Chains A and B, each alone.
Chain A
Amino acid sequence: MSQTSKIVRVTGVVKNFDLGKIVVEVLKGIDLEIETGKYISIMGPSGSGKSTLFNMIGGLDKPTEGKVFIDEVDIAQLDAYELAWLRCRKIGYIFQTFNLIPVMTALENITIPMTFAGVSSDEALKKGMDLLSQVGLAGRHEHRPSELSGGQQQRVAVARALANNPSIILADEPTGNLDLTTGEEIIKLLKELSIERGVTVISATHDYKMLNVSDQVIWIRDGKIEKIQQREELNISTGGLASAH
């Protein structure tokens, strides 16, 4: 039944941080396949290695051992230009700390990736405005990040991540700096966009609100995959949780 394509493949990834005196083993052999168009959550306690794994998948850091394939391309083989291209066109990043460029307006923040991708200025502005209204911020294009609330900033960041129609959205603790309801709104937005655009969303989190929208949950503990749950299994377990209340 599953002839779906794998957008991300991680094989035998080990990551050690050499701190001089000691070597910290953070990832201890991760194997993973992620299907195109799915909404994936990487769950685990703080310090379990979610962000580290996430940085490997996003081509932001190199594994000590093992390989990461994006669209069946081994990203260790890419040179600096190809990596920049990958980050610009293939992947959209969303950060816990929003990371908008503080000196730029919301609209300008959204158009930077398009500028890097060689999209003409007019086209970028038009698309930027469309994206802003898609994330529910029409009319806020002239506002600087400091003039927006946390939730609104994260919405701009979501729009920016979508600017070049990436195949993957990587979100590391996207709700970590948001209150409960705002966090829920961002999760809902990500889920909607994922369905609408068929983009694969991979989000590292310890926010259980994410469980409801995930197609697949990858549980990580101490640098190893503890278990991988599909949506169907989740319903049962969250049902169990609900009944336990």
Chain B
Amino acid sequence: MRRLVELPLSKSFKMAFQSIRVRFFRSMVTTVSLVLAVSFFTFIQASNDTAEGLLSSNDQTVLLELVKAGYDITPESGSIESSAKQRWILFLSLLVCVVGIINAQLMSVTERFREIGTLKCLGALDRFIVRLFLIEAAMQGITGGLVGAFLGSCVALGSCLATFGGKAFFFIPWGQLLVTIAVATGTGTLLSLLGVLYPAFIAARMQPVEAMRVDQ
């Protein structure tokens, strides 16, 4: 007979949620870096979306204003392209964000050595620990992603209206904007999961003896 310990998924979620709620400030720090990166990502994407909407108005004056505002308009496709420089900055900001998350999560693993060791003494398997960290990261990712996407698109819409005036409102591609928000939230979640992989692995490898450590 195989004797197995278990941790139901619902319990894992509850534990992860509790951990975030009680250590609210610490998770906020991780989440805020995510919010910033995702809102930047959304801002650029959503600005392109609104510009694209304006472009579809086929209004010569609007076109001129777009060029003046610094958008690259390719004549043949008649669409807005994000510039190489934009993509590069975007990539860097996401990279910085992931590195920040890895750092914050490693610190949190170090802080929680006793808790992790104790869980292992109580019978937790390596994969329970990994799962707890992944769920926590996913929750932070979705929250940070949503907030960031919302912020980023608000700023993009605001600046679009400020630059092109009230008439721009009629050309806002709401559908495309929703897709952008969804993609941004997904990206945020992905970044958060990516950042926690290595720390979660370290946590899972922690030995139960760690729980016994008495630091003076």
Contact = CB atoms under 8 A, between A and B. Distances in A.
A95 B211 contact: yes
Given A51-B212, A85-B3, A95-B212, A117 B123 contact: yes
> Which secondary structure dominates where chain B touches chain A?
helix
B75 interface: no
Nearest to B117: A99
Nearest to B123: A88
Nearest to A161: B122
A116 B7 contact: yes
A99 B211 contact: yes
Given A87-B208, A115-B8, A116-B5, A60 B121 contact: yes
Interface in A80-132: 80-82, 84-85, 87-89, 93, 95-97, 99-104, 108, 112-113, 115-118
Interface string A44-56: 0000000100010
B32 interface: no
- Among the interface residues B22, B119, B122, B125, which one has the most CB atoms of the partner chain A within 10 A? B122
Contact of A85 (B18, B21, B23, B123): B123
B67 interface: no
Contact of A172 (B7, B21, B123, B212): B212
A173 B21 CA distance: 32
- Among the interface residues A100, A118, A173, which one has the most CB atoms of the partner chain B within 10 A? A118
B125 A101 contact: no
A147 interface: no
A72 interface: no
Contact of A82 (B3, B15, B119, B208): B3
B6 A60 contact: no
Nearest to A58: B121
B85 interface: no
A60 B5 contact: no
Contacts of B119: 101, 112
Contacts of A85: 3-5, 123
B19 interface: yes
Nearest to A59: B208
Contacts of A88: 5, 122-123
A185 interface: no
B209 A116 contact: no
A157 B129 CA distance: 21
A61 interface: yes
A115 B7 contact: yes
B212 A55 contact: yes
Interface in B167-216: 207-209, 211-212, 214
B131 interface: no
A118 B126 CA distance: 17
Interface string B71-115: 000000000000000000000000000000000000000000011
Contact of A55 (B7, B19, B120, B209): B209
A39 B121 CA distance: 21
A58 B120 CA distance: 12
Contacts of B125: 80-81, 84
Contacts of A82: 3
A173 B214 CA distance: 11
Interface in A151-166: 160
B124 interface: yes
Contacts of B18: 103-104, 108
A89 B114 contact: no
B11 to A, nearest CB: 6
A99 B19 contact: no
Contact of A87 (B7, B122, B126): B122
Given A93-B118, A93-B211, 7 more contacts: A60-B208, A81-B5, A103-B18, A112-B119, A115-B6, A116-B124, A172-B212
7 contacts: A87-B208, A88-B5, A96-B212, A97-B114, A102-B22, A108-B18, A118-B6
Interface of A: 51, 55, 58, 60-61, 80-82, 84-85, 87-89, 93, 95-97, 99-104, 108, 112-113, 115-118, 144, 160, 172-173, 176
Closest 8 CB pairs of A and B: A88-B123, A103-B22, A116-B123, A99-B118, A85-B3, A116-B5, A93-B121, A113-B122
